[in-house]
Chain A
Amino acid sequence: KAGVTQTPRYLIKTRGQQVTLSCSPISGHRSVSWYQQTPGQGLQFLFEYFSETQRNKGNFPGRFSGRQFSNSRSEMNVSTLELGDSALYLCASSGDPQSETQYFGPGTRLLVL
């Protein structure tokens, strides 16, 4: 099976712009979670989607949003970018409600100038 894929792998944006990141889960997985990784804050949970519904949300401002499509692919959007949004954004998918194991993609590295 192919793993979790994320596009693009690298992005450079300027303050005030918006950005959309994409994640394709492992085939058959219906849960997609997003995490932000920064040197200062480490790995922080953004939100999780299951069957097109957001089930959990982390402690991030409303500028961070996401959605999931009927094929389980997910996108996250960050509006009005700030310098502090520079980070590695990781997507993870999970399929088995009993195993609770999340499989991560390679991430999208966002640099905000």
Chain B
Amino acid sequence: GDSVTQMEGPVTLSEEAFLTINCTYTATGYPSLFWYVQYPGEGLQLLLKATKADDKGSNKGFEATYRKETTSFHLEKGSVQVSDSAVYFCARDHGGSNYKLTFGKGTLLTVNP
């Protein structure tokens, strides 16, 4: 079935380090892809999205490119901050008007000063 696999954490980085969180998806249909972020005690916030192959989503210094050939949507940031510490979820939808998201397991990122 449709699934999303993302790199397991936790990931611990120093401030200003480069971040990559890997995400791959099953190649069924033509999904839109998303990264959501969850801060402690809160719900999910949309970080960025891409709706078709080769699209690049970006927000707050984070970027991810929809790679159809590798079925990937890796999240990157050039210089992380302490405030980026959170859990990051990769997700795909199921196309059309089907408002169902399938999420990866989440990756806990901790950024130390």
Contacts and interface: CB of A to CB of B under 8 A. Distances in A.
What secondary structure prevails in chain A residues at the interface with B?
strand
Interface string B87-107: 001000100011111111110
Contact of B101 (A4, A6, A102): A102
A90 B101 contact: no
B42 A48 contact: no
Interface stretch (B45-53, B64-72, B74-82): B45-53
B32 interface: yes
B7 to A, nearest CB: 14
B46 A103 contact: yes
B61 interface: no
A33 B43 contact: no
A45 B43 contact: no
Nearest to A33: B99
B99 A90 contact: no
Interface of B: 32, 34, 36, 42-46, 49, 51, 89, 93, 97-106
